[in-house]
């Protein structure tokens, strides 16, 4: 009688072409194709986004008297963002909030200092300042800025600009130094106590993917507009005076 010799399981699997391994390889290959397709789609989307834009302001959101606009320039990945609102406030408290480094904590920063005050003509102001901000989930950011304001002595309208001056002082290992920032505030005071406020942000925080950075610019601009009425109602700002700043009801200098 002939005996039947059974091959061990390993030999059977090898003879059958390792059926357990083949499905695994097929799935890995499919995942590779999917990853390549997604990478290609992301690359195409990037070039489409960067090449898009008409450099026109468009309303992104509106609520509670606040309007937020965005502007996309062809060739740029980051948006410019502008927020507008009207509140009850004198002009001096708003200027003090933005130029007095002792108000740092009111703007969510944890360290601020004046580096240098720059002589300026009447109705103007200029200084170099540095601010450090905690960024949730990110390394802290440090802003070194040239701050200046100019006021029309007749209309009392004021523009306050902030421009990055990243090489004004040595880099601090504590933080990521913001190298691109060109923001400005516009204030239009009215005799009835109303103040029209506009903030335009052209900022690159550095180290953030631009979809996240663009969303952050929109949200931060909206947040600034929401915060202002509550800040201006604080006792520390209610009666503050700023040298050289004229209110709507004051005469010309």
Q: How far is CA 186 from CA 39, 114, 179, in A?
A: 42, 22, 23
CB atoms inside a 10 Å sphere around CB 160: 20
Q: Are 127 and 111 in contact (CB under 8 A)?
A: no
For 102-111, the pLDDT digits (tens) are 999 888 899 9
Coil vs helix vs strand at 90:
coil
Tell me the three state secondary structure of residue 208: coil
Domain boundaries, the chain: 9-50, 54-238
Q: pTM of the entire structure?
A: 0.81
Q: Which CATH superfamily is 54-238 part of?
A: START domain (3.30.530.20)
Question: What gap in Å lies between CA 172 and CA 236, rounded to an integer?
Answer: 31
- For the chain, what percent of residues have pLDDT higher than 70? 80
> How far apart, in whole angstroms, are the C-alpha atoms of residue 185 and residue 198?
6
36-52 pLDDT per residue, tens: 665 665 556 655 656 67
Chain centre to alpha carbon of residue 225? 14
- Minimal CA–CA distance to 85: which of 237, 188, 203? 188
Residue 87 token pair:
């509140």
């Amino acid at each position: 009688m002939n005996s039947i010799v059974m091959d061990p399981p390993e030999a059977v699997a090898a003879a059958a072409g390792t059926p357990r391994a083949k499905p695994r390889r097929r799935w890995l290959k499919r995942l590779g194709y999917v990853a390549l397709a997604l990478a290609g789609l992301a690359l195409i989307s990037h070039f489409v986004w960067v090449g898009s834009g008409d450099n026109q302001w468009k309303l992104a959101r509106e609520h509670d008297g606040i309007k937020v606009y965005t502007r996309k320039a062809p060739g740029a990945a980051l948006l410019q963002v502008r927020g507008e609102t009207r509140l009850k406030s004198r002009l001096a408290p708003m200027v003090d909030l933005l130029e007095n480094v002792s108000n740092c904590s009111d703007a969510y920063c944890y360290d601020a200092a004046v580096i240098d005050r720059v002589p300026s003509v009447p109705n103007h102001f200029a200084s170099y300042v540095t601010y450090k901000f905690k960024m949730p989930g990110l390394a802290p950011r440090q802003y070194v800025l040239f701050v200046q304001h100019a006021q029309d002595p007749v209309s009392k309208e004021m523009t306050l600009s902030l421009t990055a001056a990243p090489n004004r002082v040595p880099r601090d290992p504590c933080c990521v130094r913001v190298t691109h920032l060109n923001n400005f505030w516009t204030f239009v005071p009215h005799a009835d106590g109303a103040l029209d406020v506009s903030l335009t942000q052209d900022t690159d925080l550095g180290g953030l993917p631009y979809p996240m950075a663009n969303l952050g610019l929109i949200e931060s601009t909206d947040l600034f507009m929401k915060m202002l009425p509550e800040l201006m109602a604080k006792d520390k700002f209610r009666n503050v005076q700023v040298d050289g700043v004229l209110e709507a009801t004051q005469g010309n200098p």
